[in-house]
Amino acid sequence: MAHKQPERFKAEQQALRKVQVHFEFQQELMHRVRTEAAHHKLSPSDYVRKVVGLPYSKIQRPRISLSFSEVDMSILADKYSVEPNTLVLKKHVANEIETFFKNR
């Protein structure tokens, strides 16, 4: 008797069949792709998919991901005079970025 896999594994199996392709464009073209993608509220890769006629999806929850090393955490904690706590630092960084762009 065949063993039926749960539905959640089907999407994972399809993802494993995908081939990741990296492109290197000249700096000016990369800048234009990123700018146009942001203007259309798409990631650069989804914008390229749109341009070449492939299916793409709109960003569901726009966000920017940063990785902080222990050294980064220490630098930020000193800068904001707080403990090196990820959630506290996240709040301070978000506030600083919002202020930076409000004043431009």
pTM above 0.85? Answer: no
Query: What is the per-residue pLDDT for 11?
Result: 67
Show me where the domains of the chain are located.
23-60, 70-102
pLDDT of 1 above 60: no
DSSP string, 69-83: -HHHHHHHHHHHTS-
Note the pLDDT tens digit of each residue in 34-69. Answer: 999 999 999 899 999 999 999 998 877 778 889 999
Sign of CA dihedral 100, 39, 15, 12: positive
